[in-house]
Amino acid sequence: MRIDPQAIESAAKELYIRALKILPDDVKQGFATLAARETSATAKEVLGTMIRNIAVAEATDNLLCQDTGIPIYNVTIGRGVEFGAADGVALKAAIRRGCERATREHPLRSSIVHPLSRQNAHTSCGIEVPVIDIDVAEDFEGLKIEMIPKGSGSENNSWLKMAVPADGTDAVKTFVVDCVLDAGGRTCPPTIVGVGVGGTADLCVHLAKRAAIRPLGTHCADPAGASLEDELSAAVNLLGVGPQGLGGDSTAFAVHVELAATHITMNPVAVNMQCHSARRASAIITPEGVRYGF
Residues that bind another protein (CB under 8 A): 42, 46, 49-50, 52-53, 56-57, 60, 62-68, 107-111, 118, 120, 122, 151-153, 156, 170, 173-174, 177-178, 181, 184-188, 231-232, 234-236, 238-247, 275-277
The span from the CA of 267 to the CA of 165, in Å, is 5
The span from the CA of 147 to the CA of 66, in Å, is 17
CA dihedral 149, 150, 151, 157 (to 10 degrees): 180
Q: Least distance in Å: CB of 214 to another protein?
A: 19
By beta-carbon proximity to another protein, the closer residue of 73 and 175 is 175
Q: Least distance in Å: CB of 193 to another protein?
A: 13
Q: Least distance in Å: CB of 182 to another protein?
A: 9
By beta-carbon proximity to another protein, the closer residue of 46 and 285 is 46
By beta-carbon proximity to another protein, the closer residue of 174 and 286 is 174
The span from the CA of 176 to the CA of 199, in Å, is 17
CB 5 within 8 A of CB 11: no
By beta-carbon proximity to another protein, the closer residue of 64 and 285 is 64
By beta-carbon proximity to another protein, the closer residue of 119 and 218 is 119
The span from the CA of 123 to the CA of 276, in Å, is 26
Q: Least distance in Å: CB of 12 to another protein?
A: 19
Q: Least distance in Å: CB of 268 to another protein?
A: 18
Preceding omega of 130 cis (within 30 degrees of 0): yes
The span from the CA of 273 to the CA of 191, in Å, is 6
The span from the CA of 59 to the CA of 284, in Å, is 26
